Amino acid sequence: MPHLPVPGPDEDTGLADAPPPAPVHYAEQALLGALLLEPARLDELGPLAAEHFGDPAHSALYAAMRTAAVPGADEHRTAPVWLRRVLDAAQPQAPGLTASYLHSLVHRCPWPGHAAAYARMLEADYARRTLREHAERLAQAATDGSLPDPAATVLARCDALSGFLDTLSGRFAPHPGSLPRTPPPAPARHTAGEEAREEERALLACATAQPARLRQMRWLQPDDFALPRHGQLFTCLTALVHRREPVDAVTVLWEAQHQHLLTADFTPADLLGLLTTPVGTPEHWGEKILRRALLAQAHTTALRIRAFTDDAANTPHQLATGSRRALADLTARRTRWQRATRSPATPRTPAVPRAGPRLRTTAASPATRVWR
If you average pLDDT over every residue of the chain, what do you get?
A: 87
pLDDT digits (tens, 9 = 90+) for 46-56: 899 999 999 99
Tell whether the model's pLDDT for residue 31 goes beyond 60. yes
C-alpha distances in angstroms, 335 versus 161, 166, 340, 343, 363? 17, 20, 9, 12, 38
Long-range CB contacts for residues 355-361, cutoff 8 Å, separation at least 24 = 356/279, 357/277, 357/279, 358/198, 359/198, 359/201, 359/202, 359/205, 359/274, 359/277, 359/279, 360/273, 360/277, 361/197
**What confidence tier does 360 reach under pLDDT thresholds 50, 70, 90?**
very low
pLDDT digits (tens, 9 = 90+) for 131-183: 999 999 999 999 998 999 999 999 999 999 999 999 999 899 888 888 898 99
List, in sequence order, the alpha helices (H) in the chain. 9-13, 23-37, 56-67, 73-78, 81-90, 99-107, 115-143, 150-171, 194-209, 228-242, 249-258, 268-275, 282-310, 316-342
Closest among 104, 90, 91, 98 to 50, alpha carbons compared? 90
Sign of CA dihedral 328, 291, 202, 284: negative
Weakest mean pLDDT among 78-82, 207-211, 215-219 = 78-82
Amino acid letter at 173? Answer: A
- The SS3 assignment for 229 reads helix
The Cα 272–Cα 275 span in angstroms is 5
* Sequence-separated (6 or more) residues with CB below 8 Å from residue 98: 87
The full set of domains in the chain, from first to last, is 9-110 (1.10.860.10), 124-372 (1.10.860.10)
DSSP symbol at 136? H
User: Angle at Cα 336 formed by Cα 335 and Cα 338, nearest 5°?
Assistant: 65
DSSP symbol at 213? G
